[in-house]
Amino acid sequence: MTQLSRIIKQDAIKQIVTGLIMAVLTLGLIIITFVITAQWQIIFLIASLGIASVSFLKSGSIDLAVAKNTQLRMKAPEENKVTTTWPRRMFIEHQIGNVSTLLDMDETKYLSIFEQKQSKIKLILDIVTETVSIRHFLPKRFRIEDYHGNRIFYLEKKGGFNWRSYVFDETGKGIAYLDSSKQDKHIVLQYIDNDGVRWQASKDGIGFITIQDSEGIGKVIMKPNAIPIESERFAKANGSLIIWYDSVEIPYSLIILLFAITKKS
């Protein structure tokens, strides 16, 4: 079994166990509603726990099947250049529908990340889980597109408080995974590909996030809720100011990590 197979199997087991625990809690609450007068808060909680249980069990079962592929491996590190030069100061804008877009200060779009399209039924169920603040902990799948609408990457975020996210190319082949570790009492988010840790993201005391390479050299800083002076629209928008230390030959992997940070919660 490869390293990628092992970590996917670990996440699969965690999600299945979580799903079973939620199923037991759901059953317990259903029994309680027969004993006492049902209240709408309990009904919402039952519905959300039931939805979460099914979501975790489904995601865990799929991952368990994937992990059985003993030849599952990550591709060689994706180091294609997005473009020769990008503006040093950019902005990631968060929009309705769990969409985030990377733009320059002239409001030109470069890349966007979208949550996978949902059916009307699932949209209604999401509203229920959002009501009791469970939706943020459910498994999610995102796609990353360029400004032409071409799908170039997928990001799979596993459910729970601290489980991993996986990066796949447009054909579904694994490229990397994201994990967190504790270093010097701080939580560090790591981008790990076939060569090991490529990028590390850490937050300072005021909430700004710096991404460094494996040698500790800073590459980009993300400033959530910072107000850029160049754009009146961005000054009012929900998002993060992005400042590149070197805006030449930016690799896709670095941008994937930026997007993953915005979808971590």
d(CA 126, CA 104): 32
pLDDT at 72: 62
User: Model-level pTM greater than 0.85?
Assistant: no
Q: Looking at residues 109-124, what average pLDDT do you find? A: 71
pLDDT tens per residue across span 192-251: 888 888 999 998 888 899 999 989 999 999 999 888 888 888 888 889 999 999 888 888
pLDDT tens per residue across span 83-109: 567 899 999 999 887 789 999 999 999
d(CA 212, CA 221): 9
Q: Which two structure tokens, joined as six digits, stand for 6?
A: 């092992």
**Coil, strand, or helix at residue 70?**
coil
Q: Please state the three-class secondary structure of 115-138 as a single string.
A: ECCCCHHHHHHHHHHHHCCCHHHC
Q: Where exactly are the structural domains of the chain?
A: 3-67, 89-119+139-262
